[in-house]
Amino acid sequence: MEGFPAILWSATGLIIAALSVLWWLKDRRERREAQLVRRWNNATIWNPDTTARVVRLSRAEPGRGWLDDGEVAIEVDLPDQKTPPGAGWYLSVTGWVPARRAALKGRIVRLGAESVQDVFPPDAPAVTDRMMGRGERRPGVIARLLGFRGL
């Protein structure tokens, strides 16, 4: 093979390889988002623990943080993780309802690291809404390149 056919076949191979890599990256991102949505739904909808809630972390320091639901702020020991949660993250906390009730009565409440069931990044509610068909859906690569919306 010389000349033009070699260039044609190698260009075709490069295009197919690039499309395969793009497809693989998109599939990996969608699987990671689907797993995040499954964890979020397990913490918010399907949780059998009636005292557990998903609460926003308002302030974080190394090893501890403060959960805030708008009425009370409760200190919590943060579990050891690869990525430590920061302000704006969401924590699924067991025992939140009685701790909140005690804090509203004026008692000092501190939750231990064992009460934190799961940790979610700040964009978890938006990802869940997008994956469930609510909210803004991000256009695909081709639609962004061509300037189309809704594709």
Per-residue pLDDT tens digits for 94-138: 999 999 999 999 999 999 999 999 999 998 888 888 777 666 666
In this prediction, residues 80-99 reach a mean pLDDT of: 89
User: Does a structural domain hold residue 33?
Assistant: yes
Tell me the H-state helices in the chain.
4-44, 96-104, 124-131, 141-146
Cα 107 from chain centre: 33
User: Does a structural domain hold residue 151?
Assistant: no
The residue ranking higher by pLDDT, 12 or 80, is 12
Enter the pTM of the model: 0.75
Residues pairing with 56 in the sheet: 68, 90
Residue whose C-alpha is closest to residue 75's, from 64, 86, 85: 64
In a 3-state reduction of DSSP, which class is residue 54? strand
In a 3-state reduction of DSSP, which class is residue 119? strand
User: Does a structural domain hold residue 15?
Assistant: yes
Residue 63, pLDDT > 70, answer: yes
Domain encompassing residue 122: 4-128
C-alpha 65/C-alpha 86 separation (Å) is 8
Q: Would you say 38 and 85 are in contact if contact means Cβ atoms under 8 Å apart?
A: no
Average pLDDT score over the chain: 86
Residue 38, pLDDT > 50, answer: yes
User: Does a structural domain hold residue 120?
Assistant: yes
Residue 151, pLDDT > 60, answer: no
User: Does a structural domain hold residue 70?
Assistant: yes
Q: Would you say 28 and 50 are in contact if contact means Cβ atoms under 8 Å apart?
A: no
Domain count of the chain? 1
- pLDDT > 90: what percent of the chain? 49
**pLDDT for residue 44:** 86
